Structures are given as C-alpha cells and as structure tokens.
Amino acid sequence: MTRKLVLLRHGQSQWNLDNRFTGWVDVDITEAGRKEAVNAGQLMREEGLMFDVAHTSVLKRAIRTNFTALDEMDQLWVPVCKSWRLNERHYGALQGLDKAETAAKHGEAQVKIWRRSYDIPPPPMADNDGGHPKFDRRYMKLDEHALPATESLKTTLERVLPYWHDAIAPQLKSGKTVLVTAHGNSLRALYKYLNQIADDAILEVNIPTGIPLLFDLHEDLRVKSYRYLGDAEAAKKAAEAVANQAKTRS
C-alpha cells in the first residue's frame, strides 16, 4: 500500500508580491494568493485526494492557504495541527528587505548563496530587535535558545525533522493521507530529505506557491514517485519565477 503526502506552499503573500524577504514575519496572502489556494484545492479535489489530517506552520499565510484549499475540497472537518517547526526559514537581518535592492548592494551571487545554499545563513537578527521571535507571544513558551535569529536551509531542516519524525511520519505509516501546507524553505528541507538531494544540488530547487506537490510513498516512506498536480509546464515556470526573485532590477 502506498502512502500519500501533499506538500503545498502557501499562496502568494504580500511580501512575495513586494519581493521582500519574509521569513518569520507574519504576512498574509494577497487576493492572487487566495486564488492560488482555491486552485490548489480544485487540483487536489480533481485528483480525488481525501485527507485524514493536515499540518501547517503558525504563520497566517500558511494557515489561510490550508483553510482555503480544504474549504474548496469540502474537507474543512479535517483536523489541522499547527507547529512553529514548519515555519519559513528565518532570514535574520534580511527580513523585510527588498530582494532586488539587497542583490544590488551585496551582489546577486551572495544573495543567491543566502537564499538557496544549504549551510550558509544570512547575517543574524540583533538579539534586541523587536522582531526577534522571543518577543512574539506564540513562541514565549519555547526555550529562548531554540528560537533562531537566522537560519540556513541546513538548520531549517534540523528544525523541521523532529516534527516530521514525531508527528507526520507516524501518521503516514499508519496509512493516513497527509497535507502539509507550509513555506518555500521548510518544504525545500522536506523535499531534500525525502528525495535524498545532495547539499549542492538543493541550490537549484525552488518550490512554487500554491501548486500541490504529491508524493506517493512506500510503507517505509521511501519515495515511490512525486509530481506537481495540474499543468507541469506551469509549475516549472512558477519555480523559475521564484529563482529569479533576487535578481537586480534594470
């Protein structure tokens, strides 16, 4: 028996539209992002997916996308688990900055390393920065030392994996069909883990917004196959658009 897992990146957020580094900042989706979530729900409904449980981060762009997609599927009753471990990668001192302007200042190559490399984090957020997660109510019960001031994809994966092993994997092994609605980098981390992607190869992997990525898994959760639902060419172009976000403007 195969196990079904869907990874869904939230619909376009306001800061996606503004081309800004978002990270843990709690930015909502745009009207275009809501339409992406509706379309994601339609694609999953047409695929005949019947979810037993869903997981999201504690950031509203993922929560709202998850709700909207399940609503479109008439599956709002599905239990939803929220965890900070599925949050977007923390972009440190880059959070809130314009990606193209940052590339113009530091160079496209450096910004690509910060955005897409496996183990090189951006400059950290200052400990007394009001945007530091230790000042956010939703994280106040957590050990302050567990909260990041910056993250690489490597440390994002280290954050995500305990939740995968403790919460998601057992549900899949028990035969449940699972939806994970999260973010570009927390999902890149899971994609890397599931597909055993090399550290250098993950640099070129981009997850588009609002397009469900369906995995068929063996009973031991090895990947049997995976594909984006809907138009494969549209998914490819959307991923390329993500890759081009940090290029300097002419």
158 labelled binding-site residue: no
Q: Which residues are bridge partners to 9 per DSSP?
A: 182
13 labelled binding-site residue: yes
116 labelled binding-site residue: yes
Total Cβ atoms within 10 A of residue 231:
12
158 is annotated as an active-site residue? no
**CA dist., res. 90 & res. 137, Å (int):** 17
Q: Please, what's the largest Cα pairwise distance for the chain? A: 53
61 labelled binding-site residue: yes
184 labelled binding-site residue: yes
The active-site residue out of 10, 55, 132, 183 is 10
Please give the structure tokens belonging to residue 3. Answer: 């196990």
228 labelled binding-site residue: no
247 labelled binding-site residue: no
16 labelled binding-site residue: yes
Which strands form 53-56's sheet, in the order they lie side by side?
Answer: 80-82, 53-56, 178-182, 3-9, 213-217, 223-228
64 labelled binding-site residue: no
72 is annotated as an active-site residue? no
114 labelled binding-site residue: no
The active-site residue out of 36, 72, 88, 151 is 88
57 labelled binding-site residue: no
Binding site: what residues are annotated?
9-16, 22-23, 61, 88-91, 99, 115-116, 184-185
Binding site for substrate: what residues are annotated?
9-16, 22-23, 61, 88-91, 99, 115-116, 184-185
Give the active site residues: 10, 88
